[in-house]
Structure 1
Amino acid sequence: MELYPINLKLTGRRCGVIGGGAVAERKVMALLAAGAEISVFSPALTPGLSDLQETGRLAWIPRTYQTGDLHNFFLVFCATNEPEINRQAAAEAQAAGALVTIADAPDLSDFYVPAHVAHGDLLLTISTGGGSPALSRRLREELAARYGPEYGHYLTLLAKLRAEMKERLTTAKDREKFWRETIDQETLDLLKQGKFSEAEERIRNAACCIGPES
């Protein structure tokens, strides 16, 4: 089955998590990073989830999911160790219009959460359609080794310089050439070494070499 790739903006969106174990905690951490508003339905929580609840970063409903709980959610993650509860919650959430993923039943899920590597605004994702989590982990490790934090720093630097470069380079052709040529290993090496000012200066200097005379 072909999947449609998409990156969701979850800031302020209501997301429900059924379960309070290790799997649920991983889901919650990723949702928090995306700015979601999270409700967790579970009689008990992991220490990590308990800490998040105590600091007000999630809402905890301290009981097993019940019929009627899952209205007005955007995403729902069913992550208990009881398959029947997962399926019951998923069916209700889907009927209410939510998108659902079920930890132990990918074939019944509306979406899969891909393995990913994130550095700032850089997000690299890997999906096997739920077919091989082990392969997803291996590919994620390879990508993490190949694309380190310096790539995230590079994106941050480009965002800082974008408006300035748009004024200095007046044609689309010049801007395209500039952005293409500034993605070089020397700049990335400077960022990897923490030499942010030197990397920024190198990018600024590159703009001086591009223009009508080039």
Structure 2
Amino acid sequence: MGHYPLFLEMADKAALVVGGGAVAERKVRSLLQYGASIRIVSRDLTDGLKDLLETGRISFAGETFVENHLEGLTLVFAATDDRQLNHEISIKARERGVLVNAVDQPEDCTFIVPSIVRRGDLTIAVSTSGKSPALAKRVRKQLESQFGKEYAIFLDFLGRLRGRVISLGLSSEENSRIFNGVVNSDVLKLLAENRPAEAAGVLAGILPEDLVIEDILSDFKNIWGE
């Protein structure tokens, strides 16, 4: 049947990673990118995980997993090399309604982690529902070549522009016309070709006169220079 695609808010949410190897470290570092509060359970840790502990970016919950470790969690990764332990963690997590991912054991997962392409706040997720991580990785690499850094810059600008346009009190139809005009213009192409001044000129021809065009274009050029 496949998995329901969902983006989960993890800022300041409690997450547990059981395991201390390279896979566990990758899960920890990924969660840190989204502001999760992470606890780890393992007898042995990679040097990278030790560094994260020493700098206070994650906390140590113990050497051995116990059911109480699941209290108050949003999700747990079972990332040990013991398949039976991962299975048991999955059972306990399901009983408590905690989202669980047992690495390389799709039958023990209530969620899977897709292959991700990130360009600033633009996130593209690729999933094969656990059937072929290798194919998901291949598709991700294709997307990485298709979506360059210009998308991050453009999206940052669009986020700033949106508030300014809405503040004008125009109709929803007019707002849509403006946003679609900007998105479907040559701005992205010009950014990809490193021609920001020309991109700014295109924007000036699309945006409504009621906006302070100089401020908008200044924002745009500042983002490009960041």
Q: Above 0.5 in TM-score?
A: yes
* Matching of residue 48 in structure 1 with residue 48 in structure 2: yes
**Structure 1 position 49, deviation (Å):** 1.4
* Aligned residues of 1:42 and 1:63 also touching (Cα < 8 A): yes
Please state how far the C-alpha of 1:61 moved relative to its aligned partner.
Answer: 3.0
Deviation sequence 1:55-106 (CA, Å, 0-9, x none): 1110123412134322221100000011111111222222222110110311
TM-score computed with the length of structure 1 as normaliser: 0.89
Residue 154 (structure 1) aligns with: 154
The correspondence of residues 143-182 of structure 1 with structure 2, limited to 5 A, is: 143-168=143-168, 170-182=170-182
Quick one: distance in 1 between partners of 2:45 and 2:197? 45
Instruction: State how many pairs are aligned.
Output: 210
Partner of 1:108: 108
Query: Compared with structure 1, are the counterparts of its residues 27 and 197 closer, same or farther at alpha carbon in structure 2 (3 Å cutoff)?
Result: farther
Q: Cα distance, 1:174 vs. partner?
A: 2.1
1 CA distance for matches of 2:153 and 2:193? 11
Residue matched to 1:127: 127
Amino acid at match of 1:95: E
- SS state of the match for residue 44, structure 1? coil
**Contact 2:40–2:59 at 8 Å: present in 1 too?**
yes
Residue 159 of structure 1, CA deviation: 0.9
- Where 2:68 maps in the other structure, the secondary structure is coil
Runs of 4+ in 1 over 4 A off after TM superposition: 193-198
Q: Deviations over 1:104-152 (max 9, x none)?
A: 3112210100001011210100010000000000000011111112111
The equivalent of 1:58 in structure 2 is: 58
**1:156 alignment partner, SS class:** helix
Q: CA deviation at 1:181?
A: 1.9
Residues 61 and 69, structure 2, Cα contact 8 Å, conserved in 1: no
SS at match of 2:118: strand
Identity %: 35
Across the aligned residues of Structure 1 and Structure 2, the Cα RMSD in angstroms comes to: 2.2
Runs (5+) with no aligned partner, structure 1: none
TM-score, L = length of structure 2? 0.84
